Amino acid sequence: MTDFQVSLSTDAAAQQWGDKAPLSMHENGAVIHIGDASDVSATIGQAARTIDTLNIKRVALTGNWDFEQQWAFAMSYTRARDAGQITWADNDDKSRLEQHYQAMRFTRKLVNDTPEDLSPENLATRAADWIKDLGGDKVSVDMIVGEDLQKAGWTGIYNVGRGSERPPVMLEVDYNPTGNPDAQVDAVLVGKGITFDSGGYSIKSSEGMLDMKCDMGGAATVTGALGLGIMQGLQKRVKLLLCCAENLISGHAYKLGDVLTYKNGETVEIVNTDAEGRLVLADGLIRAEETGAPLIIDAATLTGAAMVAMGKDYHAVFSMDDDARDKMLASAKAENERFWPLPLEPFHKSRCPSSFASTANSTSQKGGGAGGASNAAGFLSRFVNPQGKGWVHLDLAAAYHGSASAQMPVGATAKGIRSIARMLADF
């Protein structure tokens, strides 16, 4: 089968293709016209979606393409199911593109897989196996499963996941290229791994539950980022912590009014079982702080409030450490990914008050009320050092599209893996 050839041109399309048409066809393929485009990546993405909707299964990028142009095509052309194949343009970017594409495809597949196929243990195992495949003997793995979580004191993951027949898991992957078991841990990545979120007894509507297989998008994103970093030659010791559970209803599920006691002494009243992501991340952040790492990044599809604020174009960035926040934003800018800061102040710790515990896990208002994304970040700040030094929280509003758009296919995006990988290298 001959590949469908796609090239770029700064010339306008012939008039028969329409006024300022971004795409024209010829006998062997298509030309994307970027000459008048105010956003070249968006124009390429829209053209790639058009080509994919024609069910063209093999494309070859020909002529002059730079890295970002090829990446924009790949992000938009690569659909969730039965994706086509891409042959990269003949330039020096091929190896780098293959590394990025492998990480993107891995991340997207994890998120797009059905919740039946992706149990908490399956998520943890697949993430660990992929990192081990990339890092070899530089990687060690530890998994705490089911009732052992309660015995170890990881109360958030245990309680959120105990309503399911499939047990919750805390995964710890240690990538240590130094070969020294006593080496400083340079960074910790913490990912929310809720493989399906029914909302628990604070049950979601059917419509609200439909896309909740994506609620482990944070776990997939930080795994994809670490894998990309390893492929790029990362020489820092990094730990990956995935907090994996299914949030389901049963006679053994956690309930509204329960009070959880965490390892750091914080007590949390459950006022909304659908605010479960922050409960599992709290365990991950406590463990991350135990390592003494100067950089902790957590990532989660945490709040609808972040999506209201950011749409599906940006990931929200929170930090009480100005330097860490600025470096995260600089990493995103360097990688042409859209991140944007939202406010987090010490007073946000107290925005979920409780009469029965040191804090509640949310408020009684739907979605956490006004400032819900910042309030969730404030809750998490209770589980890192008091100043939040070196901690960055990412609320991944752009991780998943429930329906296709003119520029992006339906499903997971893998946006963020590039920025986090760069942050690991540069921090």
HEC string for the chain = CCCEEEEEECCCCCHHHCCCCCEEEECCEEEEECCCCCCHHHHHHHHHHHHHHCCCCEEEECCCCCHHHHHHHHHHHCCCCCCCEEECCCCCCHHHHHHHHHHHHHHHHHHHCCCCCCCHHHHHHHHHHHHHHHHHHHEEEEEEECHHHHHHCCHHHHHHHCCCCCCCEEEEEEECCCCCCCCCCCEEEEEEEEEEECCCCCCCCHHHHCCHHHHHHHHHHHHHHHHHHHHCCCCCCEEEEEEEEEECCCCCCCCCCCEEECCCCCEEECCCCCCCHHHHHHHHHHHHHHCCCCEEEEEECCCHHHHHHHCCCCEEEECCCHHHHHHHHHHHHHCCCCEEECCCCHHHHHCCCCCCCCEECCCCCHHHCCCHHHHHHHHHHHHCCCCCCCEEEEECCCCEECCCCCCCCCEECCCCHHHHHHHHHHC
Active-site residue flag, 278: yes
Active-site residue flag, 239: no
Residue 1: the pLDDT is: 63
Give the model confidence (pLDDT) of 35-83 as tens digits.
877 899 999 999 999 999 999 999 999 999 999 999 999 999 999 999 9
| Given 278, 325, 415, 418, the catalytic residue | 278
| Given 94, 105, 204, 263, the catalytic residue | 204
Q: How far apart are CA 305 and CA 312, in angstroms?
A: 12
Residue 395's DSSP bridge partners are 300, 316
CATH pick for 105-426 out of 3.20.20.70, 3.40.630.10, 1.10.260.40, 3.40.190.100: 3.40.630.10
Q: What are the CA-CA distances from residue 198 to residues 147, 273, 275, 301 (Å)?
A: 22, 9, 11, 14
Residue 409: the pLDDT is: 97
Type of residue at 354: S
Q: How far apart are CA 426 and CA 297, in angstroms?
A: 14
Q: Return the residue matching tokens 């600089």.
A: 330
Residue 71: the pLDDT is: 98
Query: Please, what is the end-to-end C-alpha distance for the chain in angstroms?
Result: 46
Q: How far apart are CA 414 and CA 371, in angstroms?
A: 26
Q: What are the CA-CA distances from residue 420 to residues 334, 355, 375, 385 (Å)?
A: 11, 38, 23, 21
What are the residue ranges spanned by the domains of the chain? 4-92, 105-426
Residue 318's DSSP bridge partners are 393
Say if pTM beats, i.e. exceeds, 0.85. Answer: yes
- pLDDT in tens for each of the 427 residues of the chain? 689 999 999 999 999 999 889 999 999 999 999 987 789 999 999 999 999 999 999 999 999 999 999 999 999 999 999 999 999 999 999 999 999 999 999 999 999 999 999 999 999 999 999 999 999 999 999 999 999 999 999 999 999 999 999 999 999 999 999 999 999 999 999 999 999 999 999 999 999 999 999 999 999 999 999 999 999 999 999 999 999 999 999 999 999 999 999 999 999 999 999 999 999 999 999 999 999 999 999 999 999 999 999 999 999 999 999 999 999 999 999 999 999 999 999 999 999 999 999 999 998 776 677 889 999 999 999 999 999 999 999 999 999 999 999 999 999 999 999 999 999 999 9
